Structure 1
């Protein structure tokens, strides 16, 4: 535990230190203490920082909502035994075992506006080709779809584990009382699954907030020519490795870290409030 704690504390402390300096060019180059100047500059940046914040939470919220709904639906389908269920589970889990960079490159080819398979399918059914990843308005929703395709299996695994641990007696009692399938799910299964659902939301939500590889693999530096998919992670990466502005990049990362801590605290506080 001490070793793991040091792995977290030392880089975090170093990043916090860089955030109050004007470190540029190299982290070993001489730098000066600037206090909260970097924080004021970043928080006042309405061209790159705040749009990146909005994209980060739009991407996370949209992808997480879709993954939760689809994950619950698939988990419910896999809950009861059926013929060939093992093969179906293996097929559902296949996207999860692929590396995000490979997934990003694969979907980049599929959504290519000229030779991509997606537009070929649209042409077959009489729909005009779409820009997908190359469009300013379509790039972020397209990448949200890619994220849903890859990470819904993770939600399925968590929710399916929760479903298999439930007792069948409450569901049978509701069935005897005349409740239909939707009523049994909404008033019996879902309340019993509340803790598991919260765990799935927290784990996948934090992971989605940190998404970088798919975005960078498909759109490259800056999240595209017009920064259409530039989230906080992509923005901080560009500041660090493209412009070597380590002071500003560290400030963005510390603010991002504080946002994640605040979200975790609110979720935990709400869970305690619901229990009381």
Structure 2
């Protein structure tokens, strides 16, 4: 009898450990964060969490620092995605042909992506160092005035975006390159017969057929870029002032520096909704791109 029950439900039994793991590692923290967002609780005190309803969300709505952090998060994410997509597609086209040491070049492109983010942040802090860093040394050779890079509110965000582009463009390249290997050859043969140039072939055949793949790559990078924390916190901790503070770093400060756990949890829930909204937008665009093929 027991063996018969096991045979009938074997698919549920085998998947149960994964379901339990996801519930413990994802569902429970999410639900607990949502519960904390409705309470006022300071970890520095001994009083239990106090129910305040939506007060934390209302406070965030009136917090100019929250809105500035949200703007920087969107600015950073969309900025790096646009640059990484353009460079990634270009590099994929370059690598999608035969040349000597092709595998060596592809391996070198992977190195930034597989390195530890905090280690990368430390290296780029040395590069951006105002007095002895390589960045200002290189600018000096070009006759350009040295820049403050991470210590100026005018240059800190572009400087951080440059690091992210250097680190994660290979991810876009790999996904697009994988998509290019699956493209049919018939349209290209027809284009050659019609006398189309390489640019016309790329723009009117390659890009439209690759668009669903490109959108998937952009979606994956967008979700990751929105969550960027280690690079920013390891280099600037949101400074100078608050000029590089994003929703991630602000939420961390609220919870673990200011001990406003309830407000920090509310910020995380709102940030999760922002990520979900942008993800749904990309999924919709990909669906439309697929229907056009």
Structures share fold, TM-score greater than 0.5: yes
Write out per-residue CA displacement over residues 138-196 of structure 1, whole angstroms, 9 at most, x where no aligned residue: 00000000000000011111000000111222112112211111111111011111111
From 9, 12, 15, the equivalent of 2:33 is: 15
Partner deviation per Cα, 1:92-131 (whole Å, 9 max, x = no partner) = 1111111110001100110011111111111122111111
Counterpart selection for 1:111 from 108, 115, 128: 128
User: Is the 2:176–2:213 contact (alpha carbons within 8 Å) kept by the matching residues of 1?
Assistant: yes
Aligned residues: 273
List alignment gaps of at least 5 residues for structure 1: none
> Which portions of structure 1, spanning 4 or more consecutive aligned residues, are displaced by more than 2 angstroms?
26-29, 266-276
Say whether 1:242 aligns with 2:257: yes
Distance 1:29 1:158 in 2: 50
- Please give the residue correspondences for 1:63-78 in structure 2 after superposition, counting only pairs within 5 Å: 63-78=80-95
- Cα deviation, residue 136, structure 1: 0.3
Label 1:42 to 1:118 Cα distance change in 2 as closer, same or farther (>3 A).
Answer: same
Q: Confirm or deny that 1:255 pairs with 2:270.
A: yes
User: What TM-score, normalized to structure 1?
Assistant: 0.95
Of residues 235, 238, 245 in structure 2, which corresponds to 1:230? 245
Confirm or deny that 1:168 pairs with 2:185. yes
Of residues 120, 135, 158 in structure 1, which corresponds to 2:152? 135
Maintained 8 Å contact 1:113/1:132: yes
TM-align CA RMSD: 1.5
Question: 2:261, 2:51 → 1: CA distance?
Answer: 13
Determine helix, strand or coil for the equivalent of 2:269.
Answer: helix
- Structure 2 segments unaligned to the other structure (5+ residues): 1-17
2:183–2:209 CA contact under 8 A, matched in 1: yes
SS at the partner of 1:74?
A: helix
SS of the residue aligned with 2:52? Answer: coil
Q: How much does 1:253 deviate?
A: 0.2
- Normalised TM-score (structure 2): 0.90
Rounded Cα–Cα distance in structure 1 between residues aligned with 2:124 and 2:279: 32
Conserved? CA contact 1:104–1:217, under 8 Å:
yes
- Which one is further off, 97-106 or 121-130? 121-130
Find out whether 1:122 has 2:172 as its counterpart.
no
- SS for the counterpart of 1:126 is coil
How far apart, in 2, do the equivalents of 1:77 and 1:117 lie? 28
Query: Structure 1 pair 174/59, CA: closer, same or farther in 2 (3 Å)?
Result: same
Partner of residue 264, structure 1: 279
Question: Contact 2:216 / 2:286 at 8 angstroms: preserved in 1?
Answer: no
